[in-house]
Structure 1
């Protein structure tokens, strides 16, 4: 049987439809009449992705790239060396080339990047899944580390809506300082500005979660079933990072290798059937190898004329997959003599992916919600 406070809380929930608990009701049973209204307590789930420019014009791209490339988690060079180069050279040229790349993949109907479109769809489907299990006691929203909607704005909205607990979920299957860690940093900065900080949980990486591996395997099987013949090799292309980061303790490289191995085992393939490579090299220092753009060309020269490429580190298709893999990397393969190049889309809002993400969230909601 519920205690008297719970009973009063239930009564106040039925008595109001605006989400507020008023003096004399529920938790405010003994509060004075002039006590500020408070929201009924909820649990928030905040999904976080990398980010997107607001548009592909010069100034939108410059603002986005400046925020991204000024992040010490992404580029950790001394500011006195890096910022003059960034502000005076890189940001005077790169917004034009990056803008052209974004324009090619832009969702012109909704006037937003594909990453924004897909993240919205993922959020809506996860929210529907959790609502079916927990009603309106769990709120689901998303934010971007760079650009809009900002992490700070979404934390503020969740707190104002009555979320006294927040599960923060960086949408990266693998941990890396330049992705997961910087998303967490921004979340903590947002919490520093809250008068009443919620209790929080950070969702860890899920690179070996059985449902995630199952979703990857299903996407490969689905793609292969649509082809006239099986590709010679499946290339698992992960976003790269400087090799120095691995030597300094970042676990990303090892987690990527484990994902590839688990995917291969789930598919029942031999050890040579899937290759692990890394893309998006930037700057002068050595990055994790082999580089995808060079590796696919080498495969073509070795007589492997039909390959497929999958990007397990990305939870949603974006500039690095739609333009880099399906553009630059495809061209490298074809120019080296390759004949058939198949890009297997990211898991996006696929049903199996949503089930995997929802399962990860449920694990991190444990003890905070009633099943």
Structure 2
């Protein structure tokens, strides 16, 4: 059907269309995930979803699934539940990761309050609230543009990529699909490096001893993943190097290690636990460990490092051990999140 010139001008006049600044924009923060409870049923449900992810375990399904269902899910839930119980937020009856991620979302919303058209939600790759649930909430509030932020400074297919997978999988089921953007990894971002440095300096100032060295402990990945092209270790080494330069430290005062290995494969080395053991046996008396790859404290930082790492170091002759908290919802941590979000929203706000 032909449209007259006057009619065309009428419908295309700026005042007849909402400006992009006034249309709803969603910002979705996504972290790894959390079980709903420390009981065996909750842990089994969480571990099943997590360890069934082909991005996390790349073994052939015919080999891995019998192992997962026949061995892992019958033994690991009880053990993992006991570990989570040590760090559980009793007041809210939830994991610290959920507590911090919620707070990050609330503080980001407050920081962006000058833009009432921006709505902030948060979700988890595994567990609740799911990415799909968070996306549905944004859709119900009229968000037709969405910025999704995988909360991982260093890129890995096991983290950033699987969050993207789940996000776009949820979009596939939407009739009216929003315009989308995703925040890229930021291992060398100046704001992030500066925030890490400030948090370390503040923590060191609170100590009654001086650590002889600081271990940057990142979650590991199998060496085979790296050999197949995952850039994650390179991103970790780069973060450490830039942080070392920012602090003005020598190479032997800040080192990179990898933690949380699982299964029989060789993972990226050096291993954090083995390094702590060796340092103590070699006569090092005071160390600090921090986790620059985690934006919020969780099982891997609060239990594996702050508790388990300390036990290993002390058991082998070490004296002073300290764990530097993650950036969490601190002023420095929120500055990083807000800076990256504002950068990626350019053109939309």
Which residue of structure 2 aligns with residue 128 of structure 1?
Answer: 110
Distance 1:89 1:229 in 2: 45
Which residue of structure 2 aligns with residue 114 of structure 1?
Answer: 96
Cα gap change, 1:106 to 1:5, in 2 (>3 Å): farther
TM-score under structure 2 length normalisation: 0.94
* Structure 1 counterpart of 2:181, from 182, 197, 201: 201
Dislocated runs of 4+, deviation >3 Å: 3-9
Q: Which has the higher contact order (CA 8 A, sep 6+)?
A: 2
Distance 1:352 1:287 in 2: 31
Determine whether 1:223 maps to 2:215: no
* Structure 1 counterpart of 2:84, from 97, 102, 109: 102
Deviation at 1:157, TM superposition (A): 1.4
* Structure 1 counterpart of 2:283, from 299, 303, 307: 303
* Matched position secondary structure for 1:296: helix
Deviation at 1:328, TM superposition (A): 1.8
Distance 1:230 1:327 in 2: 20
* CA displacement, residues 312-359 of structure 1 (integer Å, 9 cap, x when unaligned): 000000000011001222111111100010000000001011011111
RMSD: 1.5
* Structure 1 counterpart of 2:240, from 239, 249, 260: 260
**Would you say the 8 A contact 2:291–2:301 is kept in 1?**
yes
Deviation at 1:6, TM superposition (A): 5.3
Which residue of structure 2 aligns with residue 154 of structure 1?
Answer: 134
Determine whether 1:357 maps to 2:334: no
Distance 1:153 1:351 in 2: 28
Deviation at 1:198, TM superposition (A): 0.6
Q: Give the length in aligned residue pairs.
A: 337
**Would you say the 8 A contact 1:156–1:194 is kept in 2?**
no
Query: What residue ranges of structure 2 are gaps of 5+ in the alignment?
Result: 1-10
Distance 2:13 2:188 in 1: 43
Distance 1:313 1:302 in 2: 27
* Structure 1 counterpart of 2:298, from 280, 299, 318: 318
Distance 2:257 2:324 in 1: 15
**Would you say the 8 A contact 2:199–2:332 is kept in 1?**
no
Determine whether 1:328 maps to 2:314: no
Which residue of structure 2 aligns with residue 168 of structure 1?
Answer: 148
**Would you say the 8 A contact 1:235–1:276 is kept in 2?**
yes
Which residue of structure 2 aligns with residue 145 of structure 1?
Answer: 125
Distance 1:205 1:41 in 2: 27
Deviation at 1:80, TM superposition (A): 1.3
TM-score under structure 1 length normalisation: 0.88
